[in-house]
């Protein structure tokens, strides 16, 4: 979609659980704007409302959840799009990498079919296969063409997570909502997929909502940070500034827990006594 409007805007968004599930407010009066080419990190403890926020942006909250306020996609409120039509936004406009790769893939669909789902209908069969293979390779599934023939059961959790990311990125979305998309990945693969996302941000101006428990990752991969607690925004601002000077006691304690153990410099594998320098002393 070629447009100069704001890709994603939330205006006083609140979400309440169905009465049968307790009728509790799980997201409270949230407003934000995500510009083209911007990466927004969402952090907060388990149950703070991160996934609910992602699903609300996609218009995919389960039936019975009530929503107050508005989600605007390129200036159009989701309210004006019938629930049955919202899937049309998936792919080229909104990309989604859900939190649970095991549940998100259809066991009866090949990997090729998953990646092809969000691609433009105008592409030929060969073009689809080529694009799918390219993106599967880009996320580190080296032999993209062979992977396409497989079914989800044949893949590990980390491979499934990468299939979901490849499927979302292959459609070249304006906004990518990635919910805990690195949990099953080893550190090298995590770096690979994060730099792939950053590349799409720079090259195409893709906007990203990055939901994660990994504060260290969010601190270096996002431009802006929003911290949720019990569904309420307790901190929101430029990532570097927020991390350097957190104003809420909650973020201060999260940072103390998450960053305290991160080594500031690579650790030497050997004690000084065993190094060449020490031997030559």
Ligand X SMILES: Nc1ncnc2c1ncn2[C@@H]1O[C@H](COP(=O)(O)OP(=O)(O)OP(=O)(O)O)[C@@H](O)[C@H]1O
Q: Is 44 in the site for ligand X (CB under 6 A)?
A: yes
Q: How far is the CB of 233 from ligand X (least distance, A)?
A: 13
Q: For the chain, how are helix, strand and coil distributed in percent, rounded to 5? A: 40, 20, 35
Which CB sits closer to ligand X, 49 or 118? 49
Site string for ligand X, 187-216 (x = CB under 6 A): ------------------------------
Q: 10: how many CB neighbours lie within 10 A of its CB?
A: 19
Position 225 contacts ligand X (CB under 6 A): no
Query: Pick from 23, 62, 83, 205: which binds ligand X (CB under 6 A)?
Result: 62
Under rule CB under 6 A, how many of the chain's residues touch ligand X? 13
> What sign for the dihedral angle of Cα 88, 91, 92, 98?
positive
Q: Does 52 bind ligand X (CB under 6 A)?
A: yes
For residue 233, give every residue at least 6 positions away whose Cβ sits within 8 Å of its Cβ, in sequence order, or none.
30, 226, 227
Q: Give residues 84-143 in contact with ligand X (rule: CB under 6 A).
A: 99
Nearer to ligand X, 62 or 157 (CB): 62
Q: Which is nearer to ligand X, 204 or 230 (CB)?
A: 230
Residue with tokens 């996320």: 139
Phi-psi region of 131 (alpha: psi -120 to 50; beta: other; left: phi over 0): alpha
State yes or no: residue 63 binds ligand X (CB under 6 A): no
Contact residue for ligand X among 17, 67, 81, 150 (CB under 6 A): 17
Asked if 50 touches ligand X (CB under 6 A), the answer is yes
CB of 15 to ligand X, least distance (A): 8
Q: Are 231 and 25 in contact (CB under 8 A)?
A: yes
- Matching residue, tokens 């390219």: 134
Using a 10 angstrom Cβ sphere, with 0-12 exposed, 13-18 middle and 19 or more buried, the burial of residue 260 is exposed
Candidates 109, 215, 200, 216; CA nearest to 163 is: 109
d(CA 69, CA 29): 8
Q: Cβ of residue 252: shortest distance to ligand X, in angstroms? A: 19
**Identity of the residue, 44 or 152, whose beta carbon is nearer to ligand X in the bound complex:** 44
Give the residues lining the site for ligand X (CB under 6 A).
17, 21, 26, 44, 46-52, 62, 99
């Amino acid at each position: 979609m070629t447009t100069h409007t704001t890709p994603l805007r939330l205006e006083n968004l609140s979400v309440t659980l169905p009465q049968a599930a307790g009728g509790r407010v799980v997201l409270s009066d949230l407003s934000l704007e995500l510009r083209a080419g911007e990466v927004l990190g969402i952090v907060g403890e388990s149950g703070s409302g991160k996934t609910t926020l992602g699903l609300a942006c996609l218009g995919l909250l389960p039936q019975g959840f009530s929503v107050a306020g508005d989600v605007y996609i390129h200036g159009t409120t989701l309210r004006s799009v019938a629930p049955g039509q919202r899937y049309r936004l998936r792919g080229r406009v909104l990309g989604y990498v859900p939190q649970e790769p095991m549940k998100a893939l259809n066991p009866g669909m090949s990997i090729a079919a998953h990646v092809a789902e969000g691609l433009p209908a105008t592409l030929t069969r060969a073009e689809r296969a080529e694009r799918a293979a390219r993106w599967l390779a880009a996320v580190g599934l080296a032999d993209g063409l062979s992977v396409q023939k497989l079914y989800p059961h044949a893949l590990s959790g980390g491979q499934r997570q990468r299939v979901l990311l490849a499927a979302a990125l292959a459609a070249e979305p304006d906004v990518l909502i990635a919910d805990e998309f690195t949990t099953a990945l080893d550190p090298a693969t995590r770096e690979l997929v994060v730099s792939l996302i950053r590349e799409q941000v720079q090259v195409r101006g893709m906007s990203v909502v990055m939901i994660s428990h990994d504060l260290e990752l969010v601190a270096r991969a996002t431009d802006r940070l929003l911290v949720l607690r019990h569904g309420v925004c307790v901190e929101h601002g430029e990532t570097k500034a927020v991390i350097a000077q957190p104003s809420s006691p909650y973020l201060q304690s999260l940072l103390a827990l998450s960053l305290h153990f991160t080594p500031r410099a690579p650790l030497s594998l050997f004690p000084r006594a065993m190094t060449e320098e020490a031997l030559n002393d």
